[in-house]
Chains A and B, each alone.
Chain A
Amino acid sequence: MEFWNDPITTMFNSLLESFTSGSMSVATATVLIYALGILLFVTFAMVLDIFLVWIERKVVARFQDRLGPNRIGPFGIFQPFADIVKLLIKEDITPIGADVVLFNLAPIFSMMSVLLLWAILPFAPNMVGVDLNVAMLYLVAAGSIGTLSVIMAGWASNNKYATMGAFRTVAQMVSYEIPMVAAILVITVLAGSMGTVGIVEAQEEWWQVFFLSAPLTFLIFLISAIAELGRSPFDLNEAESEIVAGFHTEYTGMKFGLFYAGELLHSFTFGGFIALLFFGGHRFFGLENLGPIVGALIFIGKALFFYWVIMWVKYTVPRIRIDHMLAFNWKFLTPLSFILLMVTALVGRLLLDSAWLVPALFLSNVFIGWMTVLYLKSHERKTREAEEAKSVPVAQH
């Protein structure tokens, strides 16, 4: 019963007893148990990653009206293991003139930037790695490590296509961090805390869920997250028909596997963050009161659902060109996200602790969305009229 209510602490205490029953000091035993815990958690993340590869293959197949892998195991569930064996037995090529240390460090940093994020995901109120009070800044910092790994990969490959792809990818990732930070700031303002446990606690009732208070922010965070991940439609930098394979052109075998699996796990982790920031984390209409393990399962279920949404966007929408991508960020998303931040802060301050807070914020979001659509339509009409004015004299011969 105690295990059901608080699994982590009971496991920790029982392990501590068994370790110190010998002659180990409490401090050493604590450090060892922490290391063991980290190892188990990372193993869980990596095993989940294998499962995510299978999900990806099946979902893309269904979106494209075909079946996907269905030969190896029931429903093809052992397909990722075949992929792993294939990647492991491939030849590990290091190109001539490549910077060996940086070349080998880049995939490790890429995976590291994802696994670091798992420390702040709150699976349940007392099942969180560490309850940082600056967890949202930690999210942005881990994104910076991902950017670093891309530059390392592009530079160390000694390949002009790789360097060009790395430049573009880094430009995209750094640009799209800004609307993401503004969206996170909106959530921080609404929740009053930057820590993940605090954000979940601020979404107690189903109508307090931040998706209802900030739907436009949800859209902005979704778009920026997809761009941060480098997934389609923002994947110009690794599109095979455009730039060979961008910054991971020269990577073979398991190093490429680390990049690929890292991208999938990163997508799942961002699905988890969308669930946490906008949909109440591990809450589900009171079902989470049954116990932390139920809460953890609810959280993983929600993260899988939003991972599916990210995949849905990927396999539906065509690729965006790099200059359209950057113009979209700097000319549209960034001003819109800052306007939303100011309006949310203002309305939130005026209607603090009032029952009208959630409807007022929802209506203000709808209003801003409507004004944005009107502005875009008038802008589009003006551009079209300017072009027609230029081209009309040519047509009249």
Chain B
Amino acid sequence: MTTMQVLFLIFAAIILGSAFMVVTTKKMIHAAFWLIVVLFAIAALYAMLNAGFMAMVQIVVYVGAIAILFIFAVMLTRKELLDRGPALNANKSIAALLSLLSFGGLYMLLRNWSGFSNMAPALPEGDMVAKLGEALVTPDAYLLPFEIASVLLLAALIGAVYVANEARSE
């Protein structure tokens, strides 16, 4: 058991345990905070995969913005301060069955793939962040998806402001 394997197992346990707490806890605020634990552990996983830029962007975008948005939404949509009542609805047994089936199906599918026990190849030389930046703004590479993603974000921004706006004159 090398150090990396032990680290991976720790982070994987944190991710799966916290994800389970996200979907089963009764108090919504705790669910949002367990999601933050999941997001941090996933950022650590990205750092283990030598994708340092992705790890930082995960923390800035997911933890710094999306998780805080969730916390605000939970705080603004509650009738009473305590969350009473069951967390899961009447479909929980069928849902559990479906999720177990999907996990089993994915595992079977992947197990029959020839490259399932590959090891990581060597990382290429050079600055990955610079290459990533070049790929995002080169017309031959991924400039078009980049620009369309920015238009999508602008549309989502305007849409969210409009939908959540209270004072609308009819």
Are the C-beta atoms of A145 and B3 separated by less than 8 Å? no
B residues 15-56 near A (Cβ < 8 Å) are 29, 33, 36, 52-53, 56
A137 to B132, CA, bound (A): 15
Are the C-beta atoms of B60 and A137 separated by less than 8 Å? yes
Decide yes or no whether B105 CB sits under 8 A from chain A: no
Q: A155-B29, A170-B68 are in contact. Are A134 and B52 (CB under 8 A)?
A: yes
How far is the CB of A203 from the nearest CB of chain B, in Å? 20
How far is the CB of A17 from the nearest CB of chain B, in Å? 22
Q: Chain B CB within 10 Å — which of A102, A137, A174 has the most?
A: A137
Interface size, A (range): 20 to 34
Q: Which of A134, A145, A148, A155 contacts B75 (CB 8 A)?
A: A155
Q: Which of A27, A134, A155, A177 contacts B71 (CB 8 A)?
A: A155
Decide yes or no whether A141 CB sits under 8 A from chain B: yes
Are the C-beta atoms of A134 and B56 separated by less than 8 Å? yes
A145 to B58, CA, bound (A): 12
How far is the CB of A171 from the nearest CB of chain B, in Å? 9
Interface code B63-74, partner A: CB below 8 Å = 1, 0 otherwise?
111011001100
Are the C-beta atoms of A145 and B63 separated by less than 8 Å? yes
Are the C-beta atoms of B71 and A141 separated by less than 8 Å? no
Q: Is the interface of A mostly helix, strand, loop or mixed?
A: helix
Are the C-beta atoms of B65 and A163 separated by less than 8 Å? no
Interface code A172-194, partner B: CB below 8 Å = 1, 0 otherwise?
00100100000000000000001
B60 contact set on A, CB distance < 8 A: 137, 140-141, 144
Are the C-beta atoms of B68 and A137 separated by less than 8 Å? no
A163 contact set on B, CB distance < 8 A: 75
A132 to B53, CA, bound (A): 10
Decide yes or no whether A151 CB sits under 8 A from chain B: yes
A147 to B61, CA, bound (A): 13
How far is the CB of B150 from the nearest CB of chain A, in Å? 13
Are the C-beta atoms of A194 and B68 separated by less than 8 Å? no
A170 contact set on B, CB distance < 8 A: 68, 72
A143 contact set on B, CB distance < 8 A: 64
A174 contact set on B, CB distance < 8 A: 64-65, 68
Are the C-beta atoms of B64 and A140 separated by less than 8 Å? yes
A148 to B33, CA, bound (A): 10
Q: Which residue of A lies closest to B40 (CB)?
A: A145
How far is the CB of A176 from the nearest CB of chain B, in Å? 13
Are the C-beta atoms of A102 and B33 separated by less than 8 Å? yes
Decide yes or no whether B129 CB sits under 8 A from chain A: yes
Are the C-beta atoms of B59 and A151 separated by less than 8 Å? no
Are the C-beta atoms of B64 and A137 separated by less than 8 Å? no
Decide yes or no whether A316 CB sits under 8 A from chain B: no
A147 to B60, CA, bound (A): 11
Decide yes or no whether B143 CB sits under 8 A from chain A: no
B59 contact set on A, CB distance < 8 A: 141, 144-145
Q: Which residue of A lies closest to B52 (CB)?
A: A134
Decide yes or no whether A64 CB sits under 8 A from chain B: no
How far is the CB of A189 from the nearest CB of chain B, in Å? 11
Are the C-beta atoms of B129 and A134 separated by less than 8 Å? yes
Decide yes or no whether A138 CB sits under 8 A from chain B: yes
Decide yes or no whether B152 CB sits under 8 A from chain A: no
A43 contact set on B, CB distance < 8 A: none
Q: Which residue of A lies closest to B63 (CB)?
A: A144
Are the C-beta atoms of B64 and A147 separated by less than 8 Å? yes
Are the C-beta atoms of B63 and A137 separated by less than 8 Å? no
Decide yes or no whether A20 CB sits under 8 A from chain B: no
Are the C-beta atoms of B36 and A148 separated by less than 8 Å? yes
Q: A27-B3, A147-B68 are in contact. Are A132 and B52 (CB under 8 A)?
A: yes
Q: Which of B56, B67, B72, B127 contacts A138 (CB 8 A)?
A: B56
Q: Which of B52, B57, B71 contacts A133 (CB 8 A)?
A: B52
A145 to B59, CA, bound (A): 9
A102 contact set on B, CB distance < 8 A: 33
B67 contact set on A, CB distance < 8 A: 148
Q: Which residue of B lies closest to A99 (CB)?
A: B29
A148 contact set on B, CB distance < 8 A: 36, 63-64, 67-68
A311 to B132, CA, bound (A): 40
How far is the CB of A181 from the nearest CB of chain B, in Å? 9
B127 contact set on A, CB distance < 8 A: 133
A residues 45-77 near B (Cβ < 8 Å) are none
Are the C-beta atoms of A141 and B68 separated by less than 8 Å? no
Interface code B100-138, partner A: CB below 8 Å = 1, 0 otherwise?
000000000000000000000000000101000000000
15 A-B residue pairs with Cβ-Cβ distance under 8 Å, sorted by A, are: A102-B33, A132-B52, A133-B127, A133-B129, A134-B129, A137-B53, A140-B56, A141-B56, A141-B60, A141-B64, A144-B64, A144-B65, A148-B67, A163-B75, A167-B72
**Measuring CB to CB, which residues of chain A are less than 8 angstroms from any residue of chain B?**
27, 99, 102, 132-134, 137-138, 140-141, 143-145, 147-148, 151-152, 155, 163, 167, 170, 174, 177, 194
Given contact pairs A148-B67, A170-B72, enumerate 15 new A-B contacts (beta carbons under 8 Å).
Answer: A27-B3, A99-B29, A134-B129, A137-B53, A137-B56, A138-B56, A141-B60, A144-B65, A145-B59, A148-B68, A151-B68, A167-B72, A170-B68, A174-B65, A177-B64
Cβ-closest 8 pairs across A and B: A144-B64, A137-B56, A141-B59, A141-B60, A134-B56, A140-B60, A141-B56, A134-B53
